[in-house]
Amino acid sequence: MKFKLHTHTRRLLGDLHTPVSIYLKVRDAFPESALLESSDFHARDNSTSYVALNPIASVEVNRGAATMRFPDGSLLHEKLRDRYSITDALAGFIGHFDVEGDEKEACGLFGYTTFNCVRYTENIAVKESRNDRNDAPDMLYILYKYLIVFDHFTDRITLIELLREGEESRLHEVESLVNLRNFASFNFFTEGDEYSTITDNQFKEYVRLGRQHCLRGDVFQIVLSRRFVQHFSGDDFKVYRALRSVNPSPYLFYFDFGGYRIFGSSPETHCKIKGKAISIDPIAGTTKRTGNPVEDRKAVDFLLKDPKENAEHVMLVDLARNDISRHAHGVKVEFYKEPQFYSHVIHLVSRVSGTLDEGADPIRAFFDTFPAGTLSGAPKVRAMQLISEIEEHNRGAYGGCIGFIGLNGDLNQAITIRTFVSRNNELWYQAGAGIVSKSEEEYELQEVNSKLGALKKAIDLAASLYHV
């Protein structure tokens, strides 16, 4: 069945509003909403934020089956198999919709693909783990009825509503909420101390095992991670507010899926497609940021000259080139080993781009880059197999991707790092290190701690703020 939808829009001045304030105004009236922002407004492409409200359709993959929910209440459930892949499920779901009208390019799916989806794209045995309450599917993308779109470049807000034929608009109700002067804000409290699911010594053993596999020639590099947990009470949106303050990043997001939330501040693009242009921004090479310009410059010089960091970066840039080349031509490196400064770390970043081949399916091109080499290793398949063997639990959201997929094939997906999963009054957060043959246990342990520094600081800040 084809669902024909048309847009209804209104435009407002945005100078009295922020994405956060509007999200706080609308979230009680519209539970299970989403907020996507960017702290990088230097370029026109990165000057847009979204608040998405009222899910009307969705596609999820879980336990080897795809489930589609449609605007008329109908449901389609189908097992994945050789001739019906996760790519087919997502592309097929998108094909059920035809949207016309102003701002139709902004209409699409918002959601995530967990790292666990490697079980559907390659022959990877992922460790099973199920939550008794509020279990999350391996993949979930949602079509929302309302979008509140901020153009920070022009300071304008566009309200977009998706309507079926003959359906009456209720966009004025959203506008009334946007124009409210007051909104509720609730406190956040930590309960007990944070803990990791593995000890420091166990993670060092991960490093030793990874190094052995590199020396044996099983892999050139493997990314191994550890998870931390913090119990809490109150409103985890305050942690998101703190995180966007202490660690502004190109990708800021807060998704409320009802029984669980996923929110973070990712610095890394997994895959971006706009028209025929496709790009990946691999990050490889990380050091702690001190805040002292002289010391930070020394750290950058060390990263740029260190043989281990350089070998790792070259390897992952080559992997990105190979991934893009499967469906694109004219593949090139736009910039190479560019130092980028964040609140607690300094990264070396490159950009690999190309032009999609004639007839290439953007959804298939996206899945053929999944997961990012910077979160798995090289060769990618063998690295993922070893990750599943070595790490104590499956990764869930960590190392997957999250963001937007347009109904026209455009997409912008961030890697799910510097991210919290909030469920049953627990925050889960995770980070990893790229292990090569010359890796040192203590150095890799400290790299993981540095990557988690902003998240831990956000928790502390959120817990210290009352009625703000």
CA dist 439 and 461 (Å) reads 33
Q: Is the CB of residue 303 less than 8 Å from the CB of residue 348?
A: yes
- What CATH number corresponds to the domain at position 219? 3.60.120.10
Alpha carbon 410 to chain centroid, angstroms: 16
Q: One of 264, 285, 399, 434 is an active-site residue; which one?
A: 434
Question: pLDDT truncated to tens, each residue of the chain (468 aa)?
Answer: 899 999 999 999 988 899 999 999 999 999 999 999 987 644 556 689 999 999 999 999 999 999 999 999 999 999 999 889 999 999 999 999 999 999 999 999 999 999 999 999 888 888 776 655 657 999 999 999 999 999 988 889 999 999 999 999 999 999 999 999 888 889 999 999 999 999 999 999 999 999 999 999 999 999 999 999 999 999 999 999 999 999 988 899 999 999 999 999 998 999 999 999 999 999 888 888 888 889 989 988 988 888 888 888 888 899 999 999 999 999 999 999 999 888 778 888 999 999 999 999 999 999 999 999 999 999 999 999 999 999 999 999 999 999 999 999 999 999 999 999 999 999 999 999 999 999 999 999 999 998 999 999 999 999 998 765
Is 398 designated active site?
A: yes
For 227, what's the count of Cα atoms within 13 Å in the CB-facing half-sphere?
Answer: 17
Is 347 designated active site?
A: yes
CA dist 90 and 78 (Å) reads 12
Q: One of 369, 398, 429, 432 is an active-site residue; which one?
A: 398
- Tell me the pTM: 0.93
Residue 87: which residues within 8 A CB-CB, separation 6 or more?
A: 361, 363, 364, 367
Alpha carbon 183 to chain centroid, angstroms: 28
Q: Is the CB of residue 101 less than 8 Å from the CB of residue 9?
A: yes
The residue among 414, 223, 226, 395 whose CA lies nearest residue 316 is 223
Alpha carbon 217 to chain centroid, angstroms: 31
Q: Is the CB of residue 380 less than 8 Å from the CB of residue 373?
A: yes
Beta-sheet pairing, 401-406 with 251-256: unpaired
Q: Is the CB of residue 266 less than 8 Å from the CB of residue 250?
A: yes
The single residue listed with the structure tokens 């000259």 is 305
Count Cβ atoms below 10 Å from residue 369 Cβ, excluding itself. 23
Is 396 designated active site?
A: no
Is 359 designated active site?
A: no
At CA 63, angle to CA 59 and CA 69, rounded to 5? 20
Q: Is the CB of residue 10 less than 8 Å from the CB of residue 104?
A: no
Q: What is the pLDDT of residue 41?
A: 46
* DSSP structure class, residue 73: S
The residue among 242, 263, 249, 247 whose CA lies nearest residue 461 is 242
At CA 51, angle to CA 239 and CA 20, rounded to 5? 40
Q: One of 374, 395, 400, 403 is an active-site residue; which one?
A: 374
The single residue listed with the structure tokens 């080897």 is 64
The residue among 4, 14, 53 whose CA lies nearest residue 30 is 53
Q: One of 27, 241, 289, 347 is an active-site residue; which one?
A: 347
Domain count across the chain: 1
Is 418 designated active site?
A: yes
The residue among 18, 347, 65 whose CA lies nearest residue 183 is 18
CA dist 364 and 372 (Å) reads 15
For the chain, state the CA radius of gyration: 22
Q: One of 8, 211, 289, 418 is an active-site residue; which one?
A: 418
Q: Which domain holds residue 395?
A: 3-464
Which DSSP string do the residues of 95-138 spell out, in sequence order? TTEEEESTTGGG-EEEEEE-GGGHHHHSS--PPP---SSS---S
CA dist 320 and 373 (Å) reads 7
